[in-house]
C-alpha cells in the first residue's frame, strides 16, 4: 500500500475547525472498518462541505428532529452513510457512539444506507442513486406550497431550505435529469445541492463514462451554478452565501479528493472497501488526528459540534414565538397548519363520499375516481398532485383547482411532465416533508418507470398515493398493455394496492388509502366503461377495507356454495354476469370481489375462511393480468382466467373477448374444473398410485398464452 497525501488539511481552516472536520473522517473510517463493509472514500472527501453546511447554515434542532420549519438535509450519495451518522452523533441527535460502532449490523440504528423513519435526523431513504436528488425537489416543492398557503404579511412561518450532497452517480442516473429539469422550471430557489466532484467511480476515473459539462447542463436547466474547491472553507462558505441570494435552485460543484488523507486518496480503491487497519492508521496520521484509538472523539471537538444543540433550541424557540404571534392573528390558519403537519385528518372528511348505483349508468374507473378526487380535494386541502402529462387520461386533473407553478405555488394541480421516475421521487419527498398528501398518476404500464420510489416509500413507512389507469388491453397494443405489473405491485412489502370493481369500490379504495399513515396506497383503474353494481351499494366501504368480501351468493347456498368466483376490477362485473348462467346448470355460486390482496391477507383467518370456505375447493379467479400468485387463493383444485402473454393492438372489447374474458369461457372453465374434480375424486377412491408412490392433483390452468 502506498502512503501519499496531497495535503493534510483544508484551506482556511483553523485548528478547531480542522479537528472537527477530521473527527467526521475518523469516525467514518472507523465505522466502515469495524463493519468491514462500507464506503470510506466519500465521507473523507465530503467532510469539509458537511462541516460548513451543518455548522453555519443548517437550521435544525437535534433535540426535536421533527421541528416543522427545520431545513432538510439529504445525503443523496447514501453509500457514504457514515458521514451522516457521524454528523448526527456529533451534533447531539439520538444516536450514540455505540450506534456508530454497530454500523451495518442487525437492527442497528446505523444501517448500510440511511433510512427514513428508522434513524432520527435522516430525512429520506437514500442509496439507490438519484432518488435523494429527486426527493429533495419534492421537499422544496412542499415547502414552496406551504409557504404560499400559510405565510402572511409580517408572518413568515414557513421558510426553510433543502440541502443535499450528491455524487457523480446521482447525476448520471436518469431520475436526476428529470428532477433537475422540473426544479429549474419551477424556480425552486430554496434548493441547494453540492455535487461532490471527486472524479472517481467504482470502475476508475469518471472520464471513462462521464464527460458531460455538468455546470452548463444545469445552467440550461435554469439552475444557478458555482465551481469551488471542496476543501477550502472560505469558498464553501461564500458559495452558500451566493446560493442564498439567488432565486434559482443552486448547484455547487465542489472539486474534492475521494479518500482524502488516506493512502488510496484519488483512487477507485477508496470508494467501496474498508481501508484496512494499516490504512486507517496511516490516514489518521496523515490528518494529524490526536489518537489512533478507534472511535476516539476529542472533548474539544465534541464540544464544538454540540453547540448545535443550543443553537437548535434557540432557532426553534424563535420560530415558536413567531408562530405564537401568527396564531394570535390567524387562529384558523395556525390550527390548520398544525393539523396538516401532524398528519391528522379533519373531522367528517369521509362523511359524504360519492356513491354510485346502477342508475348512475356505466362509468370508467378513472372517471369515477375523478369524481371522488374532486370531493376529496374539497375536504382535504393538503391533497396535492398530478400526472405525468396524462391528467385527463388518468382522471387526476381537478377542475376546481388551478395549476401549481413558479408563480402559483399555492395551487394543487401539479404538472410533472413526462417524467414518471421523477414524479415518484418527488411524491416521496413531499410525503417525507409533511404538511401535504401528495399523489402521482400515469398509465399502469409505466409503473415500471416508478418501481424504485414506490419501493422506497414502502420501506420508509410513508403514505404517498399512486394512481395507475389503463389497466387492461386496448388499441395502443402490447407496449401499453400491462400483464405483470399488478402482480409485481402486490409483491412489494408494506404497500396497499386496490383494483376496484365500480364507483363504490373506487370511493372505498380512496378512503382506505387516505386513512393509511405508514404505507403507500396504490389504486389501479380502467379506461373502459363499467356498470355500477347494485351489489356494492352499502357493502363496499366495509368490504374493501377487508380486502375481499362476498358480493353475491346463490339462494339456498347457505354459506356453502358449489363454486366461488373471485375477481378484481373490471372482471367483477363479468363474474356477476356469469353467476346466473352457472346457476342454470344447477350450481350454487358465490361471487367474491377481492380489490386488495394485501388487506385480505391481514384479516383474521376466521374472516378469510368465511369469505373463501376451506370446504369449497372449486374456485375460479378472474383477472386481466398474470395468473402468477393466484394459486394462493384458488388452491390446487382451482383455476385462473388470466393472461400469460403480451397484448395486441385492438379495442378493449375485442381484446378481452379474444383473451377469454366472457361469460361463455367462465362457464366452460367451471364446467371443465367440475369434471376434473369429479374424475380426481374417483381416482382417489381407487387409490391409484404412481410408480414412485406419490400422487398429485393439478388445478385447471386456463390462462391465455396464445
Active site residues: 420
Query: 110: which 3 cell numbers?
Result: 446505523
- Give the number of other Cβ atoms within 10 Å of residue 354's Cβ: 17
Q: Using DSSP, state whether 197 is helix, strand or coil.
A: strand
Q: Give the CA distances from residue 63 to residues 312, 322, 369, 378, 458, in Å, rounded to whole numbers and listed in that order.
A: 8, 19, 42, 36, 27
Between CA 390 and CA 415 the distance in angstroms is 9
Q: Give the CA distances from residue 386 to residues 73, 246, 313, 396, 508, in Å, rounded to whole numbers and listed in that order.
A: 26, 28, 37, 6, 21
The answer to whether the beta carbons of residues 445 and 473 sit under 8 Å apart is: no
Between CA 350 and CA 511 the distance in angstroms is 7
For every residue of 200-231, DSSP letters joined together read EETTEEGGGT----HHHHHHHHT-EEEEEETT
Between CA 703 and CA 701 the distance in angstroms is 6
Strands of 665-704 (E only): list them.
700-701
- Show the 3-state SS of 11-31: ECCCHHHHHHHHHHHHHHHHH
The answer to whether the beta carbons of residues 131 and 422 sit under 8 Å apart is: no
Which residues pair with residue 195 across a beta bridge?
166, 253
Parallel/antiparallel/unpaired status of strands 162-166 and 191-197: parallel
Parallel/antiparallel/unpaired status of strands 589-593 and 549-553: antiparallel
The answer to whether the beta carbons of residues 530 and 497 sit under 8 Å apart is: no
Amino acid at each position: 500500500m502506498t502512503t501519499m497525501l496531497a495535503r493534510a488539511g483544508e484551506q482556511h481552516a483553523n485548528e478547531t475547525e480542522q479537528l472537527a472536520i477530521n473527527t467526521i473522517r475518523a469516525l467514518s473510517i472507523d465505522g466502515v472498518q469495524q463493519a468491514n463493509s462500507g464506503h470510506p472514500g466519500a465521507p473523507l472527501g465530503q467532510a469539509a462541505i458537511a462541516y460548513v453546511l451543518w455548522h453555519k447554515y443548517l437550521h435544525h434542532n437535534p433535540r426535536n428532529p421533527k421541528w416543522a420549519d427545520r431545513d432538510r438535509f439529504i445525503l443523496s450519495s447514501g453509500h457514504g452513510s457514515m458521514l451522516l451518522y457521524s454528523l448526527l452523533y456529533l451534533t447531539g441527535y439520538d444516536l450514540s457512539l455505540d450506534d456508530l460502532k454497530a454500523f451495518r449490523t442487525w437492527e442497528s440504528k446505523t444501517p448500510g444506507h440511511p433510512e427514513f423513519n428508522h434513524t432520527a435526523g435522516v430525512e429520506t431513504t437514500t442509496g439507490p442513486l438519484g432518488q435523494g436528488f429527486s426527493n429533495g425537489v419534492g421537499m422544496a416543492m412542499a415547502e414552496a406550497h406551504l409557504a404560499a398557503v400559510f405565510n402572511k404579511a409580517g408572518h413568515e412561518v414557513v421558510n426553510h431550505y433543502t440541502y443535499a450532497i450528491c455524487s457523480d452517480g446521482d447525476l448520471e442516473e436518469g431520475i436526476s435529469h428529470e428532477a433537475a429539469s422540473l426544479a429549474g422550471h419551477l424556480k425552486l430557489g430554496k434548493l441547494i445541492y453540492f455535487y461532490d466532484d471527486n472524479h472517481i467511480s467504482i470502475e476508475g476515473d469518471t472520464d471513462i463514462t462521464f464527460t458531460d459539462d455538468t455546470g452548463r447542463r444545469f445552467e440550461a436547466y435554469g439552475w444557478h451554478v458555482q465551481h469551488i474547491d471542496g476543501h477550502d472553507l472560505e469558498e464553501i462558505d461564500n458559495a452558500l452565501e451566493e446560493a442564498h441570494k439567488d432565486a434559482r435552485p443552486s448547484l455547487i460543484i465542489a472539486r474534492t479528493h475521494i479518500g482524502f488523507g488516506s493512502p488510496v486518496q484519488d483512487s477507485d480503491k477508496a470508494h467501496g472497501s474498508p481501508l484496512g487497519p494499516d490504512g486507517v492508521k496511516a490516514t489518521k496520521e496523515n490528518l494529524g488526528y490526536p489518537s489512533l484509538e478507534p472511535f476516539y472523539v476529542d472533548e474539544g471537538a465534541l464540544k464544538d459540534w454540540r453547540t448545535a444543540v443550543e443553537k437548535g433550541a434557540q432557532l426553534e424557540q424563535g420560530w415558536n414565538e413567531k408562530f405564537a404571534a401568527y396564531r394570535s392573528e390567524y387562529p384558523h390558519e395556525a390550527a390548520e397548519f398544525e393539523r396538516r403537519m401532524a398528519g391528522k385528518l379533519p373531522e367528517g372528511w369521509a362523511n359524504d363520499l360519492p356513491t354510485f348505483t346502477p342508475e348512475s349508468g356505466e362509468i370508467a374507473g378513472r372517471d369515477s375516481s375523478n369524481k371522488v378526487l374532486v370531493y376529496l380535494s374539497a375536504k382535504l386541502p393538503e391533497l396535492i398532485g398530478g400526472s405525468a402529462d396524462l391528467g385527463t387520461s388518468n382522471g387526476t386533473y381537478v377542475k376546481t383547482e388551478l395549476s401549481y407553478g413558479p408563480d402559483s405555488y399555492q395551487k394543487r394541480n401539479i404538472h410533472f411532465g413526462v417524467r414518471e421516475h421523477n414524479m415518484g421521487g418527488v411524491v416521496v419527498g413531499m410525503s417525507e416533508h409533511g404538511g401535504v398528501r401528495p399523489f402521482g398518476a400515469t398509465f399502469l404500464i409505466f409503473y415500471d418507470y416508478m418501481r424504485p420510489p414506490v419501493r422506497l416509500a414502502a420501506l420508509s413507512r410513508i403514505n404517498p398515493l399512486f394512481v395507475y389507469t389503463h389497466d387492461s388491453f386496448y388499441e395502443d397494443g402490447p407496449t401499453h398493455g400491462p400483464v405483470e405489473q399488478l402482480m409485481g405491485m402486490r409483491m412489494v412489502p408494506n404497500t396497499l394496492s386496490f383494483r376496484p370493481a365500480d364507483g363504490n369500490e373506487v370511493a372505498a379504495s380512496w378512503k382506505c388509502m387516505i386513512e393509511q399513515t405508514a404505507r403507500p396506497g396504490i389504486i389501479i383503474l380502467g379506461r373502459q366503461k363499467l356498470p355500477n353494481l347494485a351489489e356494492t351499494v352499502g357493502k363496499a366501504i366495509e368490504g374493501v377495507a377487508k380486502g375481499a368480501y362476498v358480493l353475491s351468493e346463490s339462494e339456498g347456498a347457505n354459506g356453502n356454495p358449489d363454486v366461488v368466483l373471485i375477481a378484481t376490477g373490471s372482471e367483477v362485473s363479468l363474474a356477476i354476469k356469469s353467476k346466473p348462467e352457472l346457476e342454470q346448470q344447477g350450481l350454487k355460486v358465490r361471487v367474491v370481489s377481492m380489490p386488495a390482496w394485501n388487506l385480505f391477507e391481514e384479516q383474521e383467518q376466521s374472516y378469510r375462511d368465511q369469505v373463501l370456505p376451506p370446504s369449497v375447493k372449486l374456485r375460479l379467479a378472474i383477472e386481466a393480468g398474470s395468473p402468477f400468485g393466484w394459486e394462493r387463493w384458488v388452491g390446487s383444485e382451482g383455476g385462473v382466467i388470466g393472461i400469460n402473454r403480451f397484448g395486441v393492438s385492438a379495442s378493449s372489447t375485442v381484446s378481452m373477448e379474444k383473451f377469454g374474458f366472457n361469460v361463455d369461457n367462465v362457464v366452460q372453465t367451471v364446467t371443465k374444473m367440475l369434471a376434473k374434480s369429479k374424475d380426481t375424486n374417483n381416482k382417489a377412491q381407487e387409490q391409484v398410485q404412481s410408480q414412485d408412490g406419490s400422487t398429485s392433483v393439478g388445478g385447471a390452468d386456463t390462462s391465455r398464452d396464445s
